[in-house]
Structure 1
Amino acid sequence: MKNYFTSLLIALVTVPVFSQHGSVTGSVVDGSTGQPVDFSVVALLSARDSSLVTGMMTGKGGKFSLQNVQEGKYILRFSLVGYNNRYIPVEITASKPEVHLGPVKLDISSVDLQTVTVTGEKPLIENKIDRKVFNVSESMMAATGTATDILKQVPSVSVDAEGNISLRGSENVVILINGKPSTISGENSAAILQQMPANMIENIEVITNPSAKYDPDGVTGIININLKKNVRMGTYGSVTFNAGTNNKYNGNVTLNYQVGKMNLSASYAGRYNEWSGWGNSWKESYLNDTTTASTRQHDVSTDIDYSHMGRLSMDYTFSEKTSAGYMGSFMQRHSTDLDEAWYNKEMMKVLADSSHNTNDEKGGGWNSDHTIYLVRKYDKKGQELRFNLSRSDSKGFHHTQFSQEHMVPLSYLAYQRDALEGRQALTTLQLDYTHPVTEKITLESGWKSIFGTQENDYRYDSLLNNVWKTDVNQTNHFIYHSQIHAAYATLKQEIGSFGYQVGLRGEYFGRQFELINTGENHAKTFWNLYPTVHLQQKLNESNEIMLSYSRRVFRPDPRSLNPFVHYYSPLTFAKGNPALNPEYVNSFEAGHTYKWEKNSISTTLYYRQTVNQITRMSMIVDTVKTMITSVNMNKSSAYGFDVNAIVYLARWWFINASSSVFNYRIDATNVNGVSKQKMNYSFKLISNIMVPRVINFQVSGFYRTGFITPQGEMSPFYSVDAGLRKDVLKGKGTIIFNVSDIFNTMRFSMKASDVTFSQEMVRKRESRVLYLGFTYRFGEPAQQSQQRQRQNRQQEENNHNNEGMMENVF
């Protein structure tokens, strides 16, 4: 741009001065605000060959006046850094020697100066050789939503109405935080992610066939949530507040401060939400093809949850080769849930029980994650040794009080209550070494150890004669310990346009759990090898193909193993299975990516086979009660394809469309004699319209078909969201308006049956929410401040030079 101005000024100096009788006058204004634009360049070009005839810069008020113009046809060009050029044809004639244009509007360029000089906009989705990266800041839901809201937009990922997350149709997916195991991604991950602020997330990585460097956990792969870690130097930050319908509020504050070799970054976020929901269920029990009992239930619920989350990161550079840092986060959460249910039970088609049940639940707890790392670089480019020490802790509680008001056959009240206290700790030590053998060959190796502990203390009481008495048969104290020790090595090489990476991970896994009440103890150990292969061939600048294979594992969580019962309601309880074994998966993928300009289309074919798949089963107990437990079925398999396309329909409009189609087959003949399969598909679309200095508009939606279980089928679900974003206060402020689930379609419904029962259930949680929010940014990163200072100095110099030259010319 500097060269452009220099060339223009030289041209203006060398243009001879003609004494003509025509003139062109007018003013230049901002197309969105109508404010005058000073110092814009007005050039008069010959219509015949576009040569420069004369020109000037607009003065105060954006006014310009070109005098002494000969008769003829011309083109006026208006230009200024940060705006699109504007061209207007004009003609000077003897009958009309004066042309008055009035205000000429300039529209801001789609490539904004501030964007170019700072970091540039990231694409919404980046396709890499072994993963897809979803950049959260490019989603409208980032300002007001949660991690769960963002995951709904990520290709190949599905989130049902209850917040359960699945990848390519399987819920057996591992969720990492900053690439490491965390208590946030444990058994209560759905509830926690529904309260994690989206604007604290940098990006989400979907890794379906990870290399041997990564943990092999997860049937369909890894969802890695990277929290923000500001690395731009300077002092800057932001404040955000959002308000939603039906008493939903959230806000956050971020701050970055750089002192010498140290950079500090911190943020805090708070959320308060009130939710409502309802559900209906119907169930019949059978014995020898005779209906022995039927139940119907309708319930309504009101939930209140609030949470606080803080994050702190620090980097210190000791020298060019040695650096260290710390990253930490803390989250505290609390919830209350009041659930009322109206229940009817018929025995042999005669009303046997009618009751009004109330569940009053309170829960909460905290999670903390801390990581210390040390990086040592060597003289050889790319050679690096990295050490990480991570600690993740959580503590939580869940208290429920049940009351049953029976009307039939007798009128009486019954009260029960339970209390669950739990804690969890994970300690991770990791050492990674990267050694470039040559410029084209790289060897990576490392060691990782994870030590885990989980403790649950569960108590169940009943009110008898106005005295609370503990039910020892439903009270238990459960302690679980696990250890993982793994070593890995990978070899990567580039041979022209072909590249490969092979790896092998050897792993020891040991688990041991104890039931304090009974003294029962279970322990198992497992040794396994997990090979990985990745191949990549670049066909040309636009096309590349990829092949990959990995062996993976999914281990049962402690709750699935604990054999004691946990009541969700007086009629529904869960019981673990201590005999569960891990699932083992062989996963194959073949992919192709085509890129042109800013557009891309990626297609992935995949096949996976799972042995010992863990699945949940429902069983009728005592005629009407339902017990939920986990079992290993024989196997399952899935094959299908994913397609993800990013297409710019215009400079200001792009769409991201993704689809997943797969056939899912299960073999549960060892459990209930069932073997079945079904084609499934899902579709997602994000449309983003960007009108610079005016507004950004984004619409996103998804649809997923129903999917099968050994005992039944889940129903399809879909949703559409929309958002508007408008920058104000010269870019320092942003107004956000979001609507989630516009058509109010998100709900969870299912059917299940076997020879002993048939069941239908539907649940609906409040999902259509309107949010209005505002963000204010203060300060600026150091490199942006320095860049801006250079631009100001350059502008001053240009203005000074231009004034002198214009005086000489005109």
Structure 2
Amino acid sequence: MMRYFPLLFLSLFFCYKLGISQSQTTIQGVVVDSVSNETLFSASVALLHASDSSLAKGVVSDDKGFFRLSNVSQGSYILRISYVGYDMFYKTLNVSSPHKNIIVDTIRMRSLYNVLGGVVITDTKPIYSFDGEKMIYNVSEDAEIQSLTLSDALQNAPSVEVDIEGNITLRGVSSVEIWINNKPSKLNAENLKTYIQQMPANVLDRIEVISNPSAKYAAEGTGGIINIITVSKIKMNSFISFGINASTRPMTSPWLSYMWANEKFSINIYLNGNYSHNKSKGSGYNLLFDDNKDTASYQTYSNENKNSSYSGSSFLNISYNIDTMNSISFWGNVYGGYYNSFSTRELYRKEYAIVGSEYKYSTLSDNQSNNYNMSGNVMYQRKFNNSGHYLRTNIGANTYNSLQNGYYERDYLTQNELDKTTLSTDKDKNYGLDAKIDYSYPFSKNGELSLGIFDNFSRNKGLIYEDTLLPGTQNYRLDSIRYRDYISLSNAIETYASLRQRFGNFTVNVGLRFQYKQIDYQMINSPKDNIKQNYPGLFPSFHASYRTKSMHNFRISYTRRIAYPGARQLSSFVIYGDESFSTGNPFLEPTYTHSMDGGWSKFFKKIGDVGVSSYFRYTKNEINSLTDVVFSDFYGRVVNYSVPVNSGSGYQTGGEFRFNYRLKSYMNIRFYSNVYFSHAETMFDYPETSLRNDTLIVTESFSYSFRLNYWAKLFKILTVNASANYRSPTKSLYVENQATYSINCGMRADFFKRKLSVFVNVRDIFNWNKREYNTNSVYYKAYNTTKYDSRFVSAGFTLRFGKIELENRAKSGM
């Protein structure tokens, strides 16, 4: 590919020279804050063609708020100016003759929320920005990502990693809260993965990464918050678009969206369907040792998996401005799907405790499930003035229902008496209600007080059972050992107070949040395993930022956070599998985290922007899953089991580096790296009679990851992109995950003034992506590798009618 780079650079140079030779008209002006009259540095200034709102030219304002658009051709235009935390500015301009200089009156930008200190740190089209505690990735302004998926967009967000299975980590921590449009997603783990892997990136407005959330946000979770925004402010008019995305996996996903809006009323409808199929192969082994550290058993296996799904979603958003001070909005979402998972395994097991105990057998499982998720929210906002004084109320509800039926078959090569056939059923019904009130009062020109209260209730009813085929008959009998009938209740009440004050270019935000959570897990068929816990707590936060006139940006923060154990993790009810079992731990305690974060960033007019940050996170009682071995009377031999444990205390410290280079508007190169060291100490409390003496386990890991992205525009209609990703091995309690890496590339072409777009992408060109991990304790050793069909070609098209400016809001998945 390197041999094409000279041609690429010559093409870009030719396009640049051709563009500057056409006209001599100049448009210039100054951008200031409407209240303080302070000049706004690095405001994004875009000149749009009035006919279709496509981009003609773009610059950013300098440190005196001044901007100049040079070499503008004759025609009608819309001048659009944006700045983080401010309302969008529009002005119609007509260029009637060349060699004419147009001086625009001083442009006074109006603050949206009286947010102080929000600073854009990127260039012409702001890809990255800071707004208080938020690191913002403006997806709608990133041409490189438009033909890809939400999963790819998350990979470009600061500090975020997404693995091949759709699992998300933030700075190497997996307990991340995923929000959609400023609210927790309320999707279960599998539906969330589907949402992330299938949602087109061009439905997104921005992704807000809050690595150290203040007291204004929920204190739950140790990994921070990722807020996915699909709705942006629209002035007026209508827009409709549709398209189809497909891949060789295979995958097919048609979608349709419509948006109509005027100054008072707007409606947004989005429909999406999806069919997907994927395959994977795996293999591995495990060794089990008894308390004397003698080998108890050895097992090897290989498996093949095939998964297919049919799903669809619909979204409706209605907003109405009652008057200039009162507004009401409603959104609702329906998501449903059918899923099929088929897998086969070949296994060999040898038991050393019993002479001649060798087993060869195969298993087959076929699971079908269907589910649907419905959620809705009504919001009313009362503004008392246009300076950020408002009261906002939200009332929401959601429901989730699923039914899974499975068939399982175990066939021994010689010991036919051990053959087994089962039918399983898993029913799940869930609903939730929530209400929230937020109040914001700007008590001075540079100060703001925010107060809020939140209540969230959820109820989950589950029923799981298996029927086993009686030998020599066609009759099935209920397996009472594997029967579970339960109700899980959760209720959380939260309040917060947050104070923000600016002193010149220095901004301080302090907050305090109180949370009280109740967990009630009731095993209907086994009351002795019921669990009920209450968790009250106070969670302070501190954030400070400072910027200089030369656009150096500094920030520092501290928060205390909590991660609650799940209801199932607390119940001691034993779940028996085919070869192992799992149980909960009623003595689990919440995980508490003290998190500190600091960073510096700088915007450069010539090259783009650069950012460096460091962080330190101290964790107490982190919850991990421990795999151990024990002799089981149920199985009649030594088997492995898993149980959640509090793995003592530990810390993680690291640093990030980000560099964004842009050559005019024709080329963009981005580099991001994250390096961190983690240390954890786990103390086991074995009985005095136990033969085990490894009571203190120290786990240390040095890990790093990087991403390199390249994007270029050729001949005005064609864009090309390429990316490389690498993540080093990581460690947790007894487990080491091996490195992952991939290279991707693609191209997109826009025709008829972007009314038609087509794209082709190749994912994981060299088919490298797989999941590989080792488990290594004194009593249990295991290795597993799973290879996915991660190399595939995807293609698609989009047709647009109406104002292109409406596109970010018209396509919305949540």
Alpha-carbon distance, 1:630 to partner: 1.2
Q: Conserved in 1, the CA contact under 8 Å of 2:288 and 2:639?
A: no
CA shift digits 1:187-223 (9 cap, x unpaired): 7633553344544433222101111110011112111
Equivalent residue number for residue 106 of structure 2: none
Instruction: Please state if 1:296 is matched with 2:300.
Output: yes
Instruction: Please state if 1:235 is matched with 2:238.
Output: yes
Distance (whole Å) between structure 2 residues aligned to residue 83 and residue 486 of structure 1: 47
Equivalent residue number for residue 246 of structure 1: 249
Equivalent residue number for residue 322 of structure 2: 318
Equivalent residue number for residue 465 of structure 2: 459
CA shift digits 1:236-282 (9 cap, x unpaired): 12111122103211121111113662110111111111101011010
2:187 is paired with a residue of what secondary structure? helix
CA shift digits 1:113-144 (9 cap, x unpaired): 98965989743333333122223345678656
Equivalent residue number for residue 595 of structure 2: 587
Equivalent residue number for residue 663 of structure 1: 677
Equivalent residue number for residue 8 of structure 2: none
Distance (whole Å) between structure 2 residues aligned to residue 112 and residue 636 of structure 1: 63
Instruction: Please state if 1:489 is matched with 2:486.
Output: no
Equivalent residue number for residue 443 of structure 2: 437
Equivalent residue number for residue 508 of structure 2: 500
Equivalent residue number for residue 639 of structure 1: 653
Q: Would the alpha carbon gap of residues 632 and 183 (structure 1) be closer, same or farther in structure 2, given more than 3 Å must change?
A: same
Distance (whole Å) between structure 1 residues aligned to residue 581 and residue 149 of structure 2: 30
Q: 1:167 aligns with which of 167, 170, 174?
A: 170
Q: 1:341 aligns with which of 341, 345, 352?
A: 345
Amino acid corresponding to residue 561 of structure 1 in structure 2: L
Equivalent residue number for residue 363 of structure 2: 357
Q: Conserved in 1, the CA contact under 8 Å of 2:181 and 2:231?
A: no
Alpha-carbon distance, 1:700 to partner: 2.0
Equivalent residue number for residue 61 of structure 2: none
Equivalent residue number for residue 374 of structure 1: 380
Deviation larger for 302-311 or 371-380: 371-380
Q: Conserved in 1, the CA contact under 8 Å of 2:147 and 2:748?
A: no
Equivalent residue number for residue 104 of structure 1: none
Distance (whole Å) between structure 2 residues aligned to residue 111 and residue 354 of structure 1: 80
Q: Conserved in 2, the CA contact under 8 Å of 1:140 and 1:725?
A: no
Q: Conserved in 2, the CA contact under 8 Å of 1:232 and 1:782?
A: no
Distance (whole Å) between structure 1 residues aligned to residue 155 and residue 388 of structure 2: 37
Q: Conserved in 2, the CA contact under 8 Å of 1:330 and 1:367?
A: yes
Q: Conserved in 2, the CA contact under 8 Å of 1:82 and 1:111?
A: no
Map of 1:153-552 to 2, 5 A cutoff? 153-184=156-187, 189-228=192-231, 231-258=234-261, 261-287=264-290, 288-348=292-352, 352-379=358-385, 381-410=387-416, 413-464=419-470, 465-520=473-528, 521-552=530-561
TM-score, length-normalised on structure 1?
0.80
CA shift digits 1:500-538 (9 cap, x unpaired): 011111121111111111224321112211101011122
Deviation larger for 332-341 or 374-383: 374-383
Q: How many residues align?
A: 690
Q: Would the alpha carbon gap of residues 129 and 646 (structure 1) be closer, same or farther in structure 2, given more than 3 Å must change?
A: farther
Deviation larger for 187-196 or 728-737: 187-196
Alpha-carbon distance, 1:689 to partner: 1.0
Q: Conserved in 2, the CA contact under 8 Å of 1:707 and 1:714?
A: yes
Q: Would the alpha carbon gap of residues 561 and 727 (structure 1) be closer, same or farther in structure 2, given more than 3 Å must change?
A: same
Q: Would the alpha carbon gap of residues 430 and 110 (structure 1) be closer, same or farther in structure 2, given more than 3 Å must change?
A: farther
Q: Conserved in 2, the CA contact under 8 Å of 1:371 and 1:388?
A: yes
2:765 is paired with a residue of what secondary structure? coil
Q: Would the alpha carbon gap of residues 144 and 83 (structure 1) be closer, same or farther in structure 2, given more than 3 Å must change?
A: closer
Equivalent residue number for residue 740 of structure 2: 717
Q: Conserved in 1, the CA contact under 8 Å of 2:728 and 2:739?
A: yes
Alpha-carbon distance, 1:781 to partner: 6.3
Q: Conserved in 1, the CA contact under 8 Å of 2:259 and 2:806?
A: no
Q: Conserved in 1, the CA contact under 8 Å of 2:24 and 2:72?
A: no
Amino acid corresponding to residue 440 of structure 2 in structure 1: T
Map of 1:786-805 to 2, 5 A cutoff? none
Distance (whole Å) between structure 1 residues aligned to residue 24 and residue 668 of structure 2: 33
Map of 1:762-781 to 2, 5 A cutoff? 762-780=785-803
1:123 is paired with a residue of what secondary structure? coil
Alpha-carbon distance, 1:729 to partner: 2.5
4+ residue runs of structure 1 moved beyond 6 angstroms? 39-43, 108-115, 118-121, 781-784
Equivalent residue number for residue 705 of structure 2: 682
Map of 1:595-744 to 2, 5 A cutoff? 595-597=603-605, 599-621=608-630, 622=632, 623=637, 625-670=639-684, 673-691=696-714, 693-744=716-767
Amino acid corresponding to residue 542 of structure 2 in structure 1: V
Map of 1:110-121 to 2, 5 A cutoff? none
Alpha-carbon distance, 1:588 to partner: 0.6
Amino acid corresponding to residue 613 of structure 2 in structure 1: T
Q: Conserved in 2, the CA contact under 8 Å of 1:588 and 1:608?
A: yes
Q: Conserved in 1, the CA contact under 8 Å of 2:253 and 2:275?
A: yes
Amino acid corresponding to residue 362 of structure 1 in structure 2: Q
Deviation larger for 144-153 or 267-276: 144-153
Equivalent residue number for residue 137 of structure 2: 134
Once the two structures are aligned, what percentage of the paired residues are identical?
Answer: 25
Amino acid corresponding to residue 778 of structure 1 in structure 2: F
Q: Would the alpha carbon gap of residues 82 and 448 (structure 1) be closer, same or farther in structure 2, given more than 3 Å must change?
A: closer
Distance (whole Å) between structure 2 residues aligned to residue 502 and residue 725 of structure 1: 45
TM-score, length-normalised on structure 2?
0.79
Equivalent residue number for residue 584 of structure 2: 576
Amino acid corresponding to residue 322 of structure 2 in structure 1: F
CA shift digits 1:134-173 (9 cap, x unpaired): 2334567865654334323333222223322211111112
CA shift digits 1:539-581 (9 cap, x unpaired): 33320211110000111223433444556x6235543333322
Deviation larger for 195-204 or 606-615: 195-204
2:542 is paired with a residue of what secondary structure? strand
Unaligned runs of 5+ in 2: 1-13, 26-54, 59-70, 83-87, 89-123, 686-694, 808-814
Amino acid corresponding to residue 768 of structure 2 in structure 1: T
Amino acid corresponding to residue 614 of structure 2 in structure 1: L
Q: Would the alpha carbon gap of residues 741 and 315 (structure 1) be closer, same or farther in structure 2, given more than 3 Å must change?
A: same
1:152 is paired with a residue of what secondary structure? helix
Q: Conserved in 2, the CA contact under 8 Å of 1:234 and 1:781?
A: no
2:205 is paired with a residue of what secondary structure? strand
Deviation larger for 152-161 or 580-589: 152-161
CA shift digits 1:374-410 (9 cap, x unpaired): 1111136221111111222211233322101110344
1:389 is paired with a residue of what secondary structure? strand
Q: Would the alpha carbon gap of residues 416 and 118 (structure 1) be closer, same or farther in structure 2, given more than 3 Å must change?
A: farther
Q: Would the alpha carbon gap of residues 606 and 643 (structure 1) be closer, same or farther in structure 2, given more than 3 Å must change?
A: same
Equivalent residue number for residue 71 of structure 1: none
1:693 is paired with a residue of what secondary structure? coil
Distance (whole Å) between structure 2 residues aligned to residue 336 and residue 222 of structure 1: 31
1:150 is paired with a residue of what secondary structure? helix
CA shift digits 1:729-788 (9 cap, x unpaired): 33210011111112211111111122222100111222112111110001226999xxxx
Amino acid corresponding to residue 668 of structure 1 in structure 2: T
Q: Conserved in 1, the CA contact under 8 Å of 2:496 and 2:512?
A: yes
Q: Conserved in 2, the CA contact under 8 Å of 1:561 and 1:578?
A: yes
Distance (whole Å) between structure 2 residues aligned to residue 559 and residue 333 of structure 1: 25
Amino acid corresponding to residue 442 of structure 1 in structure 2: E
